[in-house]
Amino acid sequence: MEKMPYQPDLDRTMTSTETVSSDWRNALPVLVGKKVTLRELEVSDAPSLFAMLTPEEVSRFISPPPTTIEGFERFITWARAERAAGRYACFAVVPHGMQTAVGLFQVRQLEPGFATAEWGFALGSSFWGTGMFVDGAELTVNFAVESVGVLRLEARAAVANGRGNGALRKLGAVQEGVLRRSFLKNGQFLDQMLWSILGEEWRATRAGLGLGRVH
């Protein structure tokens, strides 16, 4: 999800008349994997997220993240309001043995009711290649399919983002095509790969993943 759904000018009280039958709207569950724990974002995560997600090597293929700690605080407040409205879920990534967030996994609806959704991720570069992405990604996809009821989960990654595309392929996502000039970054339009995971396919492979615990 390279286009972050949050924009600073959207800071406002969110309301919704949509019905999503899941108690995740009240509070996100804590998802425990082999290497990471995914939990609800807290305002206290803002300094660590600012440090982890603003360097160029992390932000080069995503929409510009907030440029200040206060901006991340506003994003976290917005994310929690969108979760309560049933439109969006954003998890903090916390490695085992740590207390601070080092990245994000997020899921947003593409149509009312969450039958089709988009997901994305960002992880501090010092944690790349550690297996934390796959661990957190499996937890996130399983949450989307089993807790939210997503039938089709999409992801987009710039064609030039070899690491992101490789991570999605490793997870088992299916590459469906190229979205031409679909992502504006630093004044330049980039092509993106479109990937999908179907809920029925995910359930078929779930038994062999050894997914973590939900609290």
pTM above 0.95, yes or no: no
Residue 215 lies in a domain: no
Residue 12: is its pLDDT beyond 90?
A: no
Residue 13 lies in a domain: no
Q: Sorting pLDDT into bands at 50, 70 and 90, what band is 62?
A: confident
Higher per-residue pLDDT: 10 or 209: 209
How many domains is the chain built from?
1
What is the structure's pLDDT at 175?
Answer: 96
What tens digit of pLDDT does each residue of 86-109 get? 999 999 999 999 999 999 999 999
Cα separation, 8 vs 20, whole angstroms: 26
Domain that holds residue 189: 27-207
What is the structure's pLDDT at 206?
Answer: 75
Concatenating the DSSP letter of every residue in the chain gives: --S-S--GGG-S----------GGGTSPPPEE-SSEEEEE--GGGHHHHHHHHSSHHHHTTSSPPPSSHHHHHHHHHHHHHHHHTTSEEEEEEEETT--S--EEEEEEESSTTSSEEEEEEEE-GGGTTSSHHHHHHHHHHHIIIIII--SEEEEEEETT-HHHHHHHHHHTPEEEEEEEEEEEETTEEEEEEEEEEEHHHHHHHHTTT---EE-
Residue 18: is its pLDDT beyond 50?
A: no
Residue 14: is its pLDDT beyond 60?
A: no
**Domain containing 67 — which CATH number?**
3.40.630.30
Residue 14 lies in a domain: no
pLDDT, mean over the chain: 88
What is the structure's pLDDT at 11?
Answer: 42
Residue 212: is its pLDDT beyond 80?
A: no
Higher per-residue pLDDT: 201 or 61: 201
Residue 15 lies in a domain: no
Residue 27: is its pLDDT beyond 60?
A: yes
Q: Sorting pLDDT into bands at 50, 70 and 90, what band is 211?
A: low
Residue 141 lies in a domain: yes
